[in-house]
Amino acid sequence: MSAKAIREYHGKLLIAKYIQQLSEGDNGSVIRIDDRAASVTSQTNFDELVVEKPWLLEVPLVVKPDQLIKRRGKAGLVGLNLSFQNCQGWIEERMDKEIQVDGVKGKLNHFIIEPFLPHSSEEEYYVCISSERTGDTILFSHEGGVDVGDVDAKAERMIVDIGTTDLPEEAVIANLLCHVPQLKQAPLARFLHYLFKIYRMLNFTYMEINPLAMTVDPTGSNNSSYIITPLDLAAKIDETASFLCSSMWGHLDFPPAFGREDYPEEAYIRELDGKTGASLKLTILNPHGRIWTMVAGGGASVV
Lowest mean pLDDT among 129-138, 278-287, 290-299: 290-299
258 falls within a domain: no
User: Per-residue pLDDT for 85 more than 80?
Assistant: yes
Specify which residues 128 forms β-bridges with.
Answer: 139, 208
Asked if 102 and 140 sit in the same domain, the reply is no
Cα-based torsion angle of the residue sequence 89, 95, 98, 104 in order, rounded to the nearest 10 degrees? 100
Asked if 292 and 230 sit in the same domain, the reply is no
Sign of CA dihedral 31, 226, 211, 96: positive
- Give tens-digit pLDDT for 160-192: 998 888 899 999 999 999 999 999 999 999 999
* Local confidence band at 269 (pLDDT 50, 70, 90 cut-offs): confident
Which pLDDT score is estimated for 224? Answer: 63
Which pLDDT score is estimated for 301? Answer: 59
- Give tens-digit pLDDT for 143-159: 988 877 788 888 999 99
User: Per-residue pLDDT for 213 more than 80?
Assistant: yes
* Number of separate domains in the chain: 3
Counting Cβ atoms within 10 Å, is residue 112 exposed (0-12), middle (13-18) or buried (19+)? buried
**What is the rounded distance in angstroms from the CA atom of residue 217 to the CA atom of residue 226?**
5
Phi-psi region of 71 (alpha: psi -120 to 50; beta: other; left: phi over 0): left
Specify which residues 135 forms β-bridges with.
Answer: 161
- Give tens-digit pLDDT for 216-267: 988 765 656 899 999 999 999 998 888 889 899 998 888 888 887 778 888 8
280 falls within a domain: yes
Which pLDDT score is estimated for 147? Answer: 79
Asked if 292 and 203 sit in the same domain, the reply is no
Which pLDDT score is estimated for 297? Answer: 65
250 falls within a domain: no
Counting Cβ atoms within 10 Å, is residue 215 exposed (0-12), middle (13-18) or buried (19+)? middle
CB atoms within 10 A of CB 226: 19
**What is the rounded distance in angstroms from the CA atom of residue 158 to the CA atom of residue 181?**
19
What is the mean pLDDT of the segment spanning 131-144? Answer: 93
- Give tens-digit pLDDT for 60-79: 999 999 999 988 988 889 99
Which pLDDT score is estimated for 127? Answer: 97
What is the mean pLDDT of the segment spanning 14-29? Answer: 87
Sign of CA dihedral 176, 178, 184, 186: positive
Count helices and strands (H / E) in the chain: 8, 13
Asked if 85 and 51 sit in the same domain, the reply is yes
Mean pLDDT of the chain: 89
Asked if 134 and 226 sit in the same domain, the reply is yes
CB atoms within 10 A of CB 137: 14
Closest CA to 56 of 76, 74, 43, 39: 39
Q: Which domain holds residue 57?
A: 38-115
User: Per-residue pLDDT for 279 more than 80?
Assistant: no
CB atoms within 10 A of CB 298: 6
253 falls within a domain: no
